[in-house]
Amino acid sequence: MAAKGEPLINSERCKGCGLCIANCPKNILEMSKEFNSDGVTFPTLNDEETCTACTFCATMCPENAIQIRRF
Amino acid sequence: MAAKGEPLINSERCKGCGLCIANCPKNILEMSKEFNSDGVTFPTLNDEETCTACTFCATMCPENAIQIRRF
Amino acid sequence: MTEEIIVAGFGGQGVLLAGKMLAVAAMRQGKHVSHIPSYGAEMRGGTANCSVVISDEEIASPTIEHPSVLIVLNEPSLKKFEKTMAPGGLLLVNTTLIKAKAEREDIKVVYQDFTDFAREAGSDKSANMAALGCLIKEKNFICSLEALINALDEAVSQRNRRFNTIN
Amino acid sequence: MTEEIIVAGFGGQGVLLAGKMLAVAAMRQGKHVSHIPSYGAEMRGGTANCSVVISDEEIASPTIEHPSVLIVLNEPSLKKFEKTMAPGGLLLVNTTLIKAKAEREDIKVVYQDFTDFAREAGSDKSANMAALGCLIKEKNFICSLEALINALDEAVSQRNRRFNTIN
Amino acid sequence: MEEKILMKGNDAMAEAAIIAGCSHYFGYPITPQNEVPAYFAKRLPQVGGTFLQAESELAAISMVMGASAGGARVMTSTSSPGMSLKQEGISYMAGAKLPCVIANIMRGGPGLGGIAGSQADYFQATRGGGNGDYQTIVLAPGNVQELADLTILAFDLADKYRIPVIILGDGYLGQMSEPLVLPKPSGKTFEKPWAITGAKDRDPQFIASMRLTPENALEQLNLELQETYRVIRENEVITECYQCDDADTVLVAYGTAARIANKAVIKLREQGINAGLLRPKTLWPFPSEILRKITNDKKKVLTVEMSAGQMHEDVLLACDDKNKVDFYGRLGGALPKVDEIIERVKSYE
Amino acid sequence: MEEKILMKGNDAMAEAAIIAGCSHYFGYPITPQNEVPAYFAKRLPQVGGTFLQAESELAAISMVMGASAGGARVMTSTSSPGMSLKQEGISYMAGAKLPCVIANIMRGGPGLGGIAGSQADYFQATRGGGNGDYQTIVLAPGNVQELADLTILAFDLADKYRIPVIILGDGYLGQMSEPLVLPKPSGKTFEKPWAITGAKDRDPQFIASMRLTPENALEQLNLELQETYRVIRENEVITECYQCDDADTVLVAYGTAARIANKAVIKLREQGINAGLLRPKTLWPFPSEILRKITNDKKKVLTVEMSAGQMHEDVLLACDDKNKVDFYGRLGGALPKVDEIIERVKSYE
Amino acid sequence: MSKMTYAFPQSLSETRTHYCAGCGHGIVHKLIAQVLDELNIREKTLLVAPVGCSVLAYKYLNVDGLEAAHGRAPAVATGLKRVQKDKIVLSYQGDGDLLAIGAGETIHAANRGEDITVIFLNNAIYGMTGGQMAPTTMEGQKTLTSPQGRDIADVGSAMRACELIDTLEAPYYIERCSVHDVKNVNRTKNAIKRAIKYQVEGRGYSFVEILSMCPTNWGLDPVKSAKWIEEDMVPYYPLKKFRDKGEEA
Amino acid sequence: MSKMTYAFPQSLSETRTHYCAGCGHGIVHKLIAQVLDELNIREKTLLVAPVGCSVLAYKYLNVDGLEAAHGRAPAVATGLKRVQKDKIVLSYQGDGDLLAIGAGETIHAANRGEDITVIFLNNAIYGMTGGQMAPTTMEGQKTLTSPQGRDIADVGSAMRACELIDTLEAPYYIERCSVHDVKNVNRTKNAIKRAIKYQVEGRGYSFVEILSMCPTNWGLDPVKSAKWIEEDMVPYYPLKKFRDKGEEA
Ligand SMILES: Cc1ncc(C[n+]2csc(CCOP(=O)(O)OP(=O)(O)O)c2C)c(N)n1
Ligand SMILES: Cc1ncc(C[n+]2csc(CCOP(=O)(O)OP(=O)(O)O)c2C)c(N)n1
Ligand code: SF4
Ligand code: SF4
Ligand code: SF4
Ligand code: SF4
Ligand code: SF4
Ligand code: SF4
Ligand SMILES: [Mg+2]
Ligand SMILES: [Mg+2]
């Protein structure tokens, strides 16, 4: 199945709360190993093919750190 | 019918509100023509025979100016 | 010339209104005037009084320590204020409710049954008005009877409900 | 002898706790001490710092204008405090998060990767502890390593929840 | 001559506020200022304004804050215990640079006290009973005409300096009726570009007393406030002297106490004793300089107050020689007595 | 040597209150004093006391009033905006002669301001931010040990004079940790026959600030209060002098500002400049007489404050020669700087 | 042999009240005094009087008394009760006091289930200050601060205290009564008695609202005032027991 | 052709918030910004920010803003709206602010039916001051000032704002929502939108309560915090529309 879209994650805005990860119905987000300049880890997409552009991750993000590009 | 009792009215405490008069079921209280030393008129009993000692007049009195003697 | 007038009686006897009428009447006749109601220690059902100053000159203080005129409508007021009067002052006593006599000898005292007088005139509330009539008969410096009657209308229209309440 | 120490970093990096441990350890070894957390302009997610004074004598003021020791765990803290340091002071820089270099030439600077060091030791929260170890290696006037470790237990038990919050 | 009407102080103040363009009033009842809300309740709807009885003094001052931020000329009034409750709000408005007019028609305290007129809230008004380093302008009318006139001024000063202005009257003044010529509007207008009106065609703006970042922002705000206070101190002092020039003793008094002091001066002069009266109409800024100059060559200075001696401290601070400053005051709603003032002044002879 | 523990100012104050027999605490959260209610919440139930978080500062001070009238030793604490809200209640308690202890751990204002420590509520504390002529005793600790010790004293003074006592600290003091030897209870006890405990075997009694009749009752109450204040002024001043004897310049400062001033004095002396420090521990009563005597033969007096100059007025009122009194202050939560003090003092040379 | 009934209650002081003729405060004071006599608790009763016409209530009842600032009576009562745990603490309040400036304290003391009794005199107006609009002022009712009558579009409807408090979990007893006629005066007395009895038993918070005449500020004579309660207030303020956990059990 | 959805709302400022990771305030701010965009009213919206963690809300939303003292936001909003009658006034408040110190102002603004929208973030704790007990703190919940857990015998049960306000006549719209999962975030947005739309239409007072995570002071990570809302808070605070006069009509 081809991806319907992708989350664009602004890692500098992110505070690493993990709500996006917990609410992705496809379970395709995970925490980075790196830190942003605040020293926090942020979500990354681990399976680009599966994203349905459902916006759930963005909906939950308290920091407005995620936008969704729909293909 | 003989009186069952009588209201003892402390005319100096009375403020002349008339609640006792309005609430006497026997309608036997009326306002005096005289004034007490505050210049207010007070209730007097106009028919001593009819009082049932029901205490209604005393119950309504905000000034505790009426007590009832039961015969 | 300056008159310092205190009107005193029970709350509800209209002493504040009476004072106001005097002030308005005198003002209309070109006098300087001031009026302060008592609203201090007095409470519902207690006594009330007001201080009216009427003068040819600007009024320094509207408060009165030694009234040149005292009108008392009840006995506690007589007791309270008689001793403060200025020598040579005028004391008007409402004999309806006041049985006592004035004690001072250096003042002029007029005894009158205001309440009776007023009740004959149709209302037991206007003992105060009777007192005013009596006053300007004695002190025509203050205002004319006509001015007083005009003031009555004015004052009544301004009065709607008691303001001078506690707390 | 008096050391005026500022520990500074992000909120959550444990800088206040680190300062407290230093103070307790030094107190146990008979020193006069004081500790003030920053709680002023800082906010959630902002920076935090604390001022620790350790001295042989009574401490006049617990506030510090010119630290003799500065430990910085992030870059904004380096920028903010380096310039205030007393000449000849000691600056400890956490190179994990600080890429910049110190500019002053009249102080001693030690660069160390505290976070890495701490993470190797099992926790990315105890960069602050690494910094303290590093500090007393340089300044053994303050306290012994043993006293520091004892203080850790004490301090941790007193800490339960963040108090230094805004408003 | 313009038409005079006999008007109560409280009513005169309310009518003057409406003349000054006060469109909103929020208040909570308390004696001896109850005529004020009652007057506004009747009159404001007639002129298209808004009267709202708040659920408390705290709510009232907060509504005033909201209305002021919205750009309106707004007023509240109260008496002593109610004024205590407004201290937090006044401090907020001072910090947020919001103009408003607040009347405190003082009564005797402390606590619930009594309802007779008093001057025991002078410190609260001039030193800021709320938290922080702030000032409000404090006006002290002495008669009904002045109460009306200063009310007009109060609104102008508030807008000019973006500062809360307190009209500090006492219960006697509020309750007193005197002939009044209704004042005219000042005609001055003040732009309020800072008002909260919606971020249309401009950047959003906000009004707040809080400054958390950067670190020195709150000190900066305070320095700005202090600078405004300096300008006000230099420009807005109002005071009145009565027969001070040749006086041996100068009385200093405001409001109703000044009326009584005035009478004492007249009587003293009748007895050949040279007394004078200095009457501040602004209590903050206090006429320190004027007082210092006037009293420099006097024998005695006597503060007369309806308090335990509050303005008295400003008199002491102003005079070069504290030793010639004396105090006479009555407490808890009692009035100073002309006789007692005279006696005191005579004791200096 | 007694065991020392490293304790935060706020915690130390709470523990000292419990040692003093404080059985009831009512308060509302506000930074920078949040450790105080948290500490009481844990400790009071352990000693059989009552901690209750009030719904607001107004409720808190009212609960304090109720508990005090019931005869308990009771305390509340807050910071600046919260203190503004308590002014009405404090005025009531002063008027009703009810003892209590109130800590204000000051922060920068006005309004919401910031949370850094400040001394800008000095006027509010010493002049009575509430309505009426009243005073509260105001204690000004300078370090954690003293904060604890003065807390013990605060409860004794409150009961002795039936008066609210304010502990006026600043945010830095509340947040600061220093070694502490826990204070001992004073051992003093105070009968409270006036307490509201039920009219059993005696006439009913009531506690109120209100006096409506007879006419002079409220003035009478005020005269009684003023007499108590006079006695306190004569007996309860506490102050500390540091190297004043041979000083050319005397600094006057309290609380955290005094710590900084102290450091400046040490540094000045190192540089051969004879400075000294007078540190009032009671702000009301203020050590005016002591200050006057000490400064009489000095060249200069410099008030150092974390405010725009509030205690400064008391310094001016105390000193015979105002011209030698100077002021240095920082505003809005900023700390005075040792360097700046030194510079100022040097400028007098 | 004759017997005195309706004797002067011991718990009532002989001091004459300052209340206006026909004022309901006097009736309610009397009822409280009777209840204290009957429960024999005068000596352990502590009265917190509010700011309002009843500001001097502690002078009229023969019990220990304490003043509260306007609106703060329930908080003052809370502090007092938490010290004097075995005493009976009454908070007597008017409608401006209890529902306007004191709304917060009222709700929170009720929500805590503080072991006190609140006696709430609702006269639909600020009596003490000369007749301003209260939270309980009726739609259309003219007052000094609603000269055209209460306009509910502008200031909302009259607030109902019992209904508000009845949404909270803790209160033990809530009832609304009235003193406009003999039957209701007697019902009021029973309510007060039950409320105070519950406190004697340590059951927690009780609340008695009482509709009451203010002839002076209503501009009606006392008898017409009583009628106004019956005809205008009672339909809006239903007289009923809202809650009685003692009965439920 | 690719299209951006969930773009950054115009009404949201780019300033980074000071909120902790996983804090519900951020979500709610975003929803408000989206609604203002969608209703195209950013330029006429006036925000009254409370004292609480959201004290700087006016820095995060691109609208004119005003500070209120702690608890007084509804009164400040009242004054503002009565001057700026054609603007949209939002009062954004936390639970300590709205239900503790501000209980009086909350009830009275609601009772007047003030034409404002109150957005009430209920996180069952005082966030800003570091985690003290709030009126909404759950039974047994440990906080700094209820270290043994909230003891309802001593301090009463958690207060329910919607239920309280629902006893008043004037409010036009009352709803309780939550932001603990996607479905509820979307429901919250709809509620906010409806509430504000009613104000645009001049219908009067609307009230939206939002259950929200405070991971920091709950001592739970953000994901567990969301679960705690679902499992512990929602059963006590039913998520529902209490009133919608727009629908009734
Ligand atoms: C802080 C404060 N605000 C206002 C007042 C003035 N005040 C005294 S009593 C009262 C209201 C009285 O009304 P209510 O509570 O209904 O009692 P009632 O007199 O009708 O019995 C007010 C506003 C005050 N004393 N203190
Ligand atoms: C008068 C006053 N009292 C207390 C405070 C301290 N204070 C600031 S925010 C707050 C409560 C915050 O809790 P809440 O309203 O629930 O908001 P949250 O932070 O949880 O969003 C308190 C008590 C204050 N600033 N002003
Ligand atoms: S848009 Fe949906 S599927 Fe794609 S990452 Fe986000 S939550 Fe997962
Ligand atoms: S929800 Fe937002 S802030 Fe939280 S981890 Fe995901 S991107 Fe970061
Ligand atoms: S006791 Fe009854 S019958 Fe007798 S006078 Fe009184 S009300 Fe009338
Ligand atoms: S009810 Fe009492 S006060 Fe009223 S008229 Fe009768 S006796 Fe007098
Ligand atoms: S004003 Fe009303 S409530 Fe007050 S005493 Fe008179 S009748 Fe009673
Ligand atoms: S303390 Fe709680 S409410 Fe405040 S920002 Fe952090 S998570 Fe949010
Ligand atoms: Mg009432
Ligand atoms: Mg909260």
Here the CATH number for the domain that contains residue B14 is: 3.30.70.20
User: Beta strand pairing status for F275-280 and F239-242?
Assistant: antiparallel
Q: Does G131 touch chain C (CB under 8 A)?
A: yes
* Matching residue, tokens 């009084």: C49
**Ligand 9 centroid to residue G208 C-alpha, Å:** 15
Contact E/B (≥3 CB pairs under 8 Å): no
**Ligand 2 centroid to residue F91 C-alpha, Å:** 25
Mutation choice for F interface testing from H99, H144, H217 by most F CBs within 10 A: H144
Contacting A residues, span 9-68, partner chain H, CB-CB under 8 Å: 13, 15-19, 22-23, 40, 53, 55-56, 58-64, 66-68
Which residues of chain C neighbour B39 with C-beta distances below 8 Å?
10, 13, 74, 97, 115
Contact C/D (≥3 CB pairs under 8 Å): no
Q: What is the DSSP letter of F130?
A: S
How many domains does chain B contain in total?
A: 1
Q: Do C74 and B39 touch (CB under 8 A)?
A: yes
Give the model confidence (pLDDT) of F268-326 as tens digits: 999 999 999 999 999 999 999 999 999 999 999 999 999 999 999 999 999 999 999 99
Q: Does G218 touch chain C (CB under 8 A)?
A: no
Give the model confidence (pLDDT) of A3-49 as tens digits: 899 999 999 999 999 999 999 999 999 999 988 887 789 999 999 99
Ligand 7: residue of G27, G53, G220 to mutate (most ligand atoms within 8 A of CB) is G53
What is the separation of C-alpha H174 from the centre of its chain, rounded to a whole number of angstroms?
Answer: 12
Largest alpha-carbon pair distance within chain H? 63
Q: Report the candidate in G209, G194, G211 with the shortest Cα–Cα distance to residue G245.
A: G194
B61 lines ligand 6 (CB under 6 A): yes
Q: Report the candidate in H5, H75, H9, H72 with the shortest Cα–Cα distance to residue H36.
A: H9
Residue H192 in any domain: the answer is yes
Which stretches of chain H sit within 8 Å of chain A by CB? 2-9, 12, 16-17, 19-27, 30, 181-182, 185-186, 215, 221-223, 226
Q: Report the candidate in D2, D54, D61 with the shortest Cα–Cα distance to residue F261.
A: D61
* C-alpha distances out from residue E238 to E177, E246, F113, Å: 24, 21, 31
Strand partners, H150: H139
Contact H/F (≥3 CB pairs under 8 Å): yes
**CB A42 within 8 Å of CB A11:** yes
Selected residue with higher pLDDT from F116 and H1: F116
Q: Which stretches of chain F score pLDDT less than 50?
A: none
* Matching residue, tokens 């028919």: B47
Residue H57 in any domain: the answer is yes
Q: Do F65 and G105 touch (CB under 8 A)?
A: no
The shortest C-alpha distance from C142 to chain G (Å) reads 32
Give the angle subtended at the CA of C22 by the CAs of C20 and C27, to the nearest 5°: 95
Which stretches of chain D sit within 8 Å of chain A by CB? 10, 13, 45, 74, 97, 115
**Ligand 9 centroid to residue G121 C-alpha, Å:** 7
Q: Do D45 and A35 touch (CB under 8 A)?
A: no
* C-alpha distances out from residue E145 to C20, C29, E1, E13, Å: 17, 19, 15, 9
**CB F139 within 8 Å of CB H78:** no
Neighbours of chain D (3+ CB pairs under 8 A): A, E, F, H
10 Å Cβ neighbour count for H15? Answer: 11
Selected residue with higher pLDDT from D134 and E146: E146
**CB H48 within 8 Å of CB H89:** yes
How many domains does chain G contain in total?
A: 1
H216 lines ligand 8 (CB under 6 A): yes
Contacting E residues, span 212-251, partner chain D, CB-CB under 8 Å: 212-215, 217
Round to whole Å and give the CA distance between C120 and G178.
41
Round to whole Å and give the CA distance between G18 and G68.
19
Round to whole Å and give the CA distance between D123 and G147.
71
Largest alpha-carbon pair distance within chain A? 36
F338 to chain D: closest CA residue: D65
Ligand nearest to the CA of G215: 7
10 Å Cβ neighbour count for A46? Answer: 10
**List of residues 6+ apart from D72 with CB closer than 8 A:** D8, D9, D78, D81, D82, D91, D92, D93, D94, D98
- For residue E266, the one-letter residue type is I
Partner residue opposite D162 with nearest CB, options H19, H55, H130: H130
* Matching residue, tokens 């309610």: G28
| Tokens read off for C135 | 């006053």
10 Å Cβ neighbour count for F56? Answer: 26
Strand partners, E305: E329
Round to whole Å and give the CA distance between C25 and C30.
9
DSSP string, chain A: ---SEEEEE-TTT-----HHHHH-TT--EEE-SS--TTS---EEES-TTT-----HHHHH-TT--EEEEE-
Residue nearest to atom 8 of ligand 4 (CA): A14
10 Å Cβ neighbour count for G193? Answer: 18
Listing from the earlier edge strand, what are the strands of the sheet with D108-112?
D108-112, D90-94, D69-72, D2-10, D47-55, D32-37, F177-180, F5-8
Mutation choice for G interface testing from C39, C42, C44, C163 by most G CBs within 10 A: C44
**List of residues 6+ apart from B5 with CB closer than 8 A:** B51, B52, B53, B68, B69, B70, B71, G2, G5
Q: Which helix (H) or strand (E) holds G26?
A: helix G24-39
Q: Would you say residue H54 has pLDDT above 50? A: yes
Q: What is the DSSP letter of E202?
A: S
Domain boundaries, chain E: 5-235, 240-346
Round to whole Å and give the CA distance between G211 and G223.
14
Average pLDDT, chain D: 83
Domain boundaries, chain D: 2-158
Percentage of residues in chain H with pLDDT exceeding 90? Answer: 96
Lowest mean pLDDT among A36-50, E292-306, F93-107, H131-145: A36-50
Phi-psi region of D12 (alpha: psi -120 to 50; beta: other; left: phi over 0): left
Strand partners, G121: G94, G210
pLDDT per residue of chain D (167 residues) written in tens, 0 to 9? 899 999 998 877 788 888 999 999 999 999 999 999 987 544 455 678 999 999 999 898 999 999 999 999 888 899 999 999 999 999 999 888 888 999 999 999 999 888 776 666 655 557 778 888 889 888 888 888 888 888 877 666 555 433 334 44
Residues G133-161: what's their mean pLDDT? 98
Q: Report the candidate in H10, H20, H13, H18 with the shortest Cα–Cα distance to residue H212.
A: H20
Selected residue with higher pLDDT from F185 and C156: F185
10 Å Cβ neighbour count for E266? Answer: 17
Round to whole Å and give the CA distance between E63 and H73.
9
Work out the pLDDT band at C115, boundaries 50, 70, 90. Answer: confident
Give the model confidence (pLDDT) of E83-110 as tens digits: 999 999 999 999 999 999 999 999 999 9
Q: Do F112 and H67 touch (CB under 8 A)?
A: yes
Give the model confidence (pLDDT) of E154-181 as tens digits: 999 999 999 999 999 999 999 999 999 9
SS3 F27: strand
B14 lines ligand 6 (CB under 6 A): yes
Q: Report the candidate in G109, G118, G119 with the shortest Cα–Cα distance to residue G78.
A: G109
Task: Please provide the CATH number assigned to the domain covering F5-235.
Answer: 3.40.50.970
Enclosing domain of residue H168: 25-125+157-248
G3 to chain B: closest CA residue: B70
F34 to chain H: closest CA residue: H129
**CB H175 within 8 Å of CB G172:** no
Beta-carbon-side half-sphere exposure of residue E200 (alpha carbons within 13 Å): 9
Round to whole Å and give the CA distance between A66 and A54.
12
Q: Report the candidate in B16, B5, B6, B4 with the shortest Cα–Cα distance to residue B42.
A: B16
Enclosing domain of residue B57: 5-70
User: Beta strand pairing status for H206-211 and H173-178?
Assistant: parallel
| Tokens read off for C151 | 């003031």
Task: Please provide the CATH number assigned to the domain covering F240-346.
Answer: 3.40.50.920
Q: Report the candidate in G228, G232, G210 with the shortest Cα–Cα distance to residue G220.
A: G228
Give the model confidence (pLDDT) of G24-42 as tens digits: 999 999 999 999 999 999 9
Question: Based on C-alpha coordinates, what's the Rg of chain D?
Answer: 15
* Matching residue, tokens 């200075």: E301
Partner residue opposite E53 with nearest CB, options G67, G130, G145: G145
Helix axes G103-112, G73-83, angle to 10 degrees: 40
- Supply the pTM of this predicted model: 0.97
**List of residues 6+ apart from F131 with CB closer than 8 A:** E80, E81, E83, E84, E106, E109, E110, E111, E113, E120, E121, E124, F87, F88, F91
Q: Report the candidate in F171, F313, F304, F193 with the shortest Cα–Cα distance to residue D165.
A: F171
* Matching residue, tokens 């070694």: F179
Q: What are phi and psi for residue C137, nearest 5 degrees?
A: -65, -40
Percentage of residues in chain H with pLDDT exceeding 70? Answer: 99
The shortest C-alpha distance from D154 to chain F (Å) reads 10
Whether the ipTM is more than 0.85: the answer is yes
Neighbours of chain A (3+ CB pairs under 8 A): D, H
Residues G59-66: what's their mean pLDDT? 97
* Matching residue, tokens 């007082």: E291
Which stretches of chain F sit within 8 Å of chain G by CB? 23-24, 26, 50, 52, 54-56, 58-60, 62-72, 74, 88-89, 92, 96, 196-201, 204-210, 212
Round to whole Å and give the CA distance between C76 and C94.
12
Q: Would you say residue A63 has pLDDT above 80? A: yes
Q: What is the CATH number of the domain that holds H85?
A: 3.40.50.970
What is the predicted pLDDT for the residue at D123? 58
Selected residue with higher pLDDT from D47 and H10: H10
Q: What are phi and psi for residue E269, nearest 5 degrees?
A: -60, -40
Domain C2-158 classified CATH 3.40.920.10? Answer: yes
Question: Any residues with Cβ below 6 Å from ligand 2, and which?
Answer: D 167; F 28-30, 57, 81-82, 85; H 51-54, 70, 94-97, 121, 123, 125-129, 134
**List of residues 6+ apart from H145 with CB closer than 8 A:** F29, F37, F38, F41, F51, F53, H132, H133
